[in-house]
Amino acid sequence: MSHTNLNGDSVGHDEAGQRNTALALGHSSSQVSGSPPASVSEINSNSSASLSPLYSIETLPNKGRCLIASQDISPGALLIREKPLLMAPRDLAPAALETMIQLTLKTLPKHQQRQYLSLQNNFAGNYPFGGIIPTNAYPCGQESGKCAVYPTICLFNHSCRPNCQHAWNDEEGVETVYVIRPVRKGEELCVSYEVSGPSMDRKAMLEEAFAFKCACEACSLEAEEQAASDARHLAIQRLDERISRLHSRPPLGVLWDCRLLLQILRAEYKGYPGTFAARVYWDAFQVTIAHGDLARARIFVERSYKEAVICEGDNTPEVKSVKVLVKDPASDDSFEKSSKDWSTDVDMVPRGLDDDEFEKWLFRLQ
């Protein structure tokens, strides 16, 4: 598979400073014909290849080169940590990008030039060098003007129900890929190229942006299952939009929407919604902290933090800032910003409830 997109727009909503931008979704790509290295835990573009115990790079019919799990892997495992092979502005015109890449390539060591040129190029006719960027690049964070290509991370294929999540760590200048759901030995490792909606919509977006027909697990279901999955995706879009207006709606409705969205996400993503869950818990944190409910806000921000750690580790700047709020939710700018109507102390958490009763308390269903 190969794909093209430099727009790292997030799925769902993104209110700068309000949303958890740690929960990065981006774009990526795959299929090269060269021999990029595998990784133990980190690949520096300047280093030589090493073999990872977690995956191997294999060539599959109709898929090209892709990553296959070499063993069973648990959620939260770091698969790859990789420095960019080459970085570029995200919005440069193709002709200017071509010139820039030609000049930049000359400054790289020969083996890195070979790694770069081995990546798939969907625009080779007009842009033999620069075309590799829109075919493969990941944005360096959602709001960054830069994007980058990587020797190994650019090999990941897409799945609408991915088992891995990639993220940019701006502090360290590396892209990481974490496993976000249990993976069996022999399973292909995939990330999502950030598409949303029912399967037909996702397929159309992927074909237009990345020039491939998605045949992932979530796009190859039997008719009845596909209809159920599509209905869930429509509900996800609808709830996501409603939750995005969290500061202009009655808080209880937002909180209940968060709960419903989590249930639907778990159903669609087989119990492992990854960054989606982190975002919804973040939204639930935002709505509870804005009304002074420190007890529930602390639980929500802690859950958001735990989900984010599975997806991108605990050392991105964004995740570290969420950790600060887990320790002191009242330090959030939104604390009591809307009202004190739900005011609680941080330790006013009921004890002795079973899981079901606790969730009802948490989401104010009783």
Q: What residue ranges bind Zn ion (CB under 5 A)? A: 160, 214, 216, 219
Q: Which is nearer to Zn ion, 160 or 311 (CB)?
A: 160
Instruction: Provide, rounded to whole angstroms, the least separation between the CB of residue 160 and Zn ion.
Output: 3
User: Do residues 57 and 146 touch, judged by C-beta distance below 8 A?
Assistant: no
Q: Which is nearer to Zn ion, 206 or 311 (CB)?
A: 206
Beta bridge pairs of residue 32: 119
Q: Which is nearer to Zn ion, 160 or 261 (CB)?
A: 160
Q: Which is nearer to Zn ion, 157 or 244 (CB)?
A: 157
Instruction: Provide, rounded to whole angstroms, the least separation between the CB of residue 192 and Zn ion.
Output: 9
Instruction: Provide, rounded to whole angstroms, the least separation between the CB of residue 218 and Zn ion.
Output: 5
Instruction: Provide, rounded to whole angstroms, the least separation between the CB of residue 194 and Zn ion.
Output: 12
Instruction: Provide, rounded to whole angstroms, the least separation between the CB of residue 274 and Zn ion.
Output: 15
Q: Which is nearer to Zn ion, 276 or 282 (CB)?
A: 276
Instruction: Provide, rounded to whole angstroms, the least separation between the CB of residue 77 and Zn ion.
Output: 23
Q: What angle separates helix 294-312 from helix 275-290, to the nearest 10 degrees?
A: 160
Instruction: Provide, rounded to whole angstroms, the least separation between the CB of residue 234 and Zn ion.
Output: 16
Instruction: Provide, rounded to whole angstroms, the least separation between the CB of residue 329 and Zn ion.
Output: 37
8-state DSSP, 330:
G
> CB neighbours of 312 closer than 8 A, spacing ≥ 6?
22, 23, 24, 165, 167, 169, 176, 178, 319
Instruction: Provide, rounded to whole angstroms, the least separation between the CB of residue 242 and Zn ion.
Output: 25
Length of the chain, in residues: 366
Tokens of 37: 């290295």
**Residues 54-83 as b or e (16 or more Cβ within 10 Å = b):** bbebeeeeeebbbbebeeebebeeebbbbb
> CB neighbours of 266 closer than 8 A, spacing ≥ 6?
272, 273, 277
d(CA 181, CA 266): 12
Taken in order 334, 338, 341, 342, the sign of the CA dihedral is: negative
- Which residue, chain included where needed, has tokens 């529930």? 296
Q: Is 350 left (phi over 0), alpha (psi -120 to 50) or beta?
A: beta
Q: Which is nearer to Zn ion, 160 or 180 (CB)?
A: 160
Residues of the chain by 3-state class (helix, strand, coil), percent to 5: 40, 15, 45
**Residues 136-155 as b or e (16 or more Cβ within 10 Å = b):** bbbbbbbebebbbbbbbbbb
Q: Which is nearer to Zn ion, 189 or 216 (CB)?
A: 216
